[in-house]
Amino acid sequence: MTPDEFDARTSMFPCLQYGMWPSELYLFASACVDAGVTAVVESGVYNGVSTQVLHALFPGQVVSVEYDKSHLPKDFPFPVQIGDGAVLAPRAIARMVMLGVTAIGVLLDGPKSLRARAIKDQCVHDYPAVRVVGIHDHKPGLGFGETSHSWNPAFREAVGRHLDARVPLASREAHPKGPGLALWIR
């Protein structure tokens, strides 16, 4: 998937002050496409923009989890499981594997930090079908062996600046490289 193809399929979704930036979603989605991923588990849905983007890219193949129902807009068009992502995300992966899905992407935007890394480690260890894991709001180079990161200067120059032009100016000024998405690819 090229950045222009991604933009054509997702530019109708708003970029909010808080949430995943288009370049971060592109990095995750393009890694999934390259890895042959056919289904995605997303934990952390706040405002639901990333969920809408994932459904546009992987129609009918997204399971989303959010801890707090009040984080979702009224009349949100997609189903979301409400509860702890540390429990529900691995359960969704197990269900997908039981249904014969052989290539799964996992996007973690809640829980954060050490809990997110623990979920990543569990999913990668327990389920060989997990091919790609992205953790949002994760800085690079913390010794956790990420394959790629949205702060990579070449990625920012080639893709990030173009896709992130839709991000509100205040957010771009506060975070010139974006919040940060670390990516692990099996």
pLDDT tens digit sequence for 161-172: 999 999 999 999
Encoding tokens for residue 70? Answer: 């009040």
CA-to-CA distance for 66 and 129, rounded, in angstroms? 23
pLDDT tens digit sequence for 41-95: 999 999 999 999 999 999 889 999 999 999 998 899 999 999 999 999 999 999 9
All structural domains of the chain with their residue ranges? 3-185
pLDDT tens digit sequence for 111-130: 988 899 999 999 999 999 99
In which band, very low, low, confident or very high, does the pLDDT at 143 lie, cut at 50, 70 and 90? low
Q: How much is the pLDDT for 139?
A: 84
User: Which range among 27-36, 55-64, 107-116, 136-145 shows the weakest confidence by mean pLDDT?
Assistant: 136-145
Among all chains, which residue has been given the structure tokens 């062996």?
145
CA-to-CA distance for 106 and 119, rounded, in angstroms? 10
Q: How much is the pLDDT for 114?
A: 86
pLDDT of residue 141 exceeding 80, the answer is no
Q: How much is the pLDDT for 36?
A: 96
pLDDT of residue 144 exceeding 70, the answer is no
CATH of the domain spanning 3-185, picked from 2.60.40, 2.40.160, 3.40.50, 3.40.190: 3.40.50
In which band, very low, low, confident or very high, does the pLDDT at 17 lie, cut at 50, 70 and 90? confident
